[in-house]
Amino acid sequence: MKTFKCKRLRQFLFGSIVLTFLSACQNVPSNLGGDAGPLFRRGIVSIDEGVLNFKACYVNKSEQINDHTGKLKKRLSRTGAPAVYAEMSGDHIAPGEAWQVYKVHMLGGNQFTCAHELSGNEFRAAGNNPLWIADLREEGIFVQNYGRLAQLIFPRSKPINLGNGYEWSSTAKGLDFHSLTLRLLEQSCVDRFGIEYEYASEMTLNGKVYKGCGRRGNLEIRTLPGLYTTLLPGINSLGRFISLDITSENNAFLTQDYRNRQPLIVQKGTWKRLSSGKIVVHLTDIDGREENEILIFQRDKQGGLALKGYSSTYGSSGLRLERVGPERVFRRFNRPIDNL
């Protein structure tokens, strides 16, 4: 057991954490949540003359959506706010058609909520009275009890299936003995700020019960796969259009179009995300021939991919690809140049 004393923790963290404390995770058990549609997206929902519009995080283009849950219009009507942050799941996207939303996972916040991704968490539970946070990570369960200004780290255990949720139990020994039971229940939960979540949570720490809400996270990893494009200016041409598709199966497809009526240059390979946050794209095929090219990107604050270092293909001119849509499996009609 490790205990870290936190100086002035309540004053510094209370204002920022309570607004975004439930913004993270990787995967909770796969059968928790039901059929919500295959595509998870997050961003800002607004309404204009009764029509719902959605602008995904880090994407400049807005699109119409159909909400089969009824929650989005109800929320905007009740609060009178012009827009709200939402995390949703739905059907595939087809050109010219509205995205069909079948489940709302989180509802509340604004455009700044996109920046809170809580990377590294599989699940976060938290409450406000008193303020507490429990993060379920691969390396353990991290509990912050702000009443004691301390963090406890518990070994992670295999969860118990409760039927409507899951329960983790653990103990930690050190200078003191600590016991933990953490429950994630599949039921609607609203915090003191009016933010709506799809899970309720309950933590029993050393015999004391704490109530709160819960949610999944690792939002960067869940939404990193997708389509990224840019147009590089040309001296004696219309320029070069580049698109990079990275998939959740770690496949990478890079297309270069010199816009000169010649065939597209198509490169294929794999990609992976390093612990440092860098995205490494390893291209091993170009138009059916073997090749070996490595591109290293860093995702910027706008959600784009910026090339790091020198590339024999792109030099060191600062290639940046802007995110324009979800990965190809969620686009019904795939084209070499796709602006979805």
Q: Which of 223, 239, 263 is the last residue of a domain?
A: 223
Q: Based on the domain organization, do 231 and 187 belong to the same domain? A: no
Cβ contacts of 25 within 8 Å, gap of 6 or more: 118, 121, 122, 123, 124, 136, 215, 216, 217, 218, 219
Same domain, 191 and 323: no
Total count of domains within the chain: 2
Last residue of a domain, one of 223, 244, 268: 223
The pLDDT assigned to 266 comes to: 96
pLDDT for 95 equals 79
Does residue 32 sit in the same domain as residue 154? yes
- Under the banding of pLDDT at 50, 70 and 90, the label for residue 276 is confident
337 belongs to a structural domain:
no
Contact partners, residue 141, CB within 8 Å, separation at least 6: 134, 135, 153, 154, 155, 156, 168, 170, 180, 182
Task: Report the C-alpha gap between 45 and 70 in whole angstroms.
Answer: 13
> Same domain for 44 and 183?
yes
Question: Is the same domain home to 151 and 298?
Answer: no
pLDDT band at residue 236 using 50, 70 and 90 as cut-offs: low
The residue among 60 and 295 whose pLDDT is bigger is 295
Instruction: Pick the last residue of a domain from 173, 205, 223.
Output: 223
Q: Which domain holds residue 192?
A: 1-223
Q: How many CB atoms lie within 10 A of CB 295?
A: 24
Please work out, in degrees rounded to the nearest 5, the angle formed at the alpha carbon of residue 238 by the alpha carbons of 237 and 242.
115
Question: Is-above-0.85 flag for pTM?
Answer: no
Is the Cβ–Cβ distance between 91 and 99 less than 8 Å?
yes
Q: For the segment 289-335, what is each residue's pLDDT rounded down to a tens digit?
A: 999 999 999 999 889 999 998 888 888 777 999 999 899 888 875 44
CA distance 195 to 188: 11
